[in-house]
Amino acid sequence: MRLQLCRTDSTACASVPAAVATYFGGDVPRIVAEVFLPWSALGVTGPPPDSQLRLELATTGWYHARWMSWSGLPPEMALRNPAQWRVVRLGKRAPVP
């Protein structure tokens, strides 16, 4: 299993610099992963002042090209329509001991 994070602004997979994806294993159909993106990958230097982001999550599997997305739309459609992405509020980060 290999996780691959791609930008969707081109037809080929363009890697996301400094992004980290960790695969925690799992049995099909459940795969658990965690992704960390630096603010620079989103084109900004830090969190927005109102602590809100628009977000869509989508993935495509290799087996029979199965896919899922937060909106229920096929990934190609969902990721190309930011105006319809959900608004999420960022939580406060816990202090590092």
DSSP 47: -
The pair of three-digit structure tokens given for residue 93, joined into one six-digit string: 């980060």
pLDDT in tens, the chain (97 residues): 566 677 666 567 777 777 777 766 666 566 666 777 888 888 888 889 999 988 888 888 777 678 889 999 998 888 888 889 999 998 877 666 6
Helix ranges restricted to H, the chain = 75-78
Q: What is the per-residue pLDDT for 97?
A: 66
pTM for the model stands at: 0.63
Query: Which of 52, 47, 73, 58 minimizes the C-alpha distance to 5?
Result: 58
**Distance from C-alpha of 97 to C-alpha of 4, rounded to nearest angstrom:** 32
SS3 state of residue 2:
coil
